[in-house]
Amino acid sequence: MMTLRIGRRMTVNVADLPSASREYQRLRDESGEGGSTFPDGVVKGNSGTYRISYNGRVWLGGNWKEGDKNPYMEAAT
């Protein structure tokens, strides 16, 4: 089990990284917000910490910075 946190808004339990990506994208789409207002997701679990960017891509580590390349996983569909 993993935990997806979206800013200070909510925390959701997810089964795995693809599920976290899909759930993040669903919540993002439901919000109707753009990238400047909808926060990134942070996923934590036994395998480590990951960041989900606005486009649904999963990045290794919680300390992502602008310019980082090569996502850990493309957005799940």
Give pLDDT, residue 3.
Answer: 98
Tell me the mean pLDDT per 10 residues along the chain, length 77: 96 96 98 96 91 92 64 78
The pTM of the full predicted model, rounded to 2 decimals, is: 0.85
Domain positions in the chain: 2-60
Backbone angles phi, psi at 32, to 5 degrees: 75, 10
Complete DSSP assignment for 18-69: HHHHHHHHHHHHHHT--TTTSPPEEEEETTEEEEE-TTS-EEESS---TT--
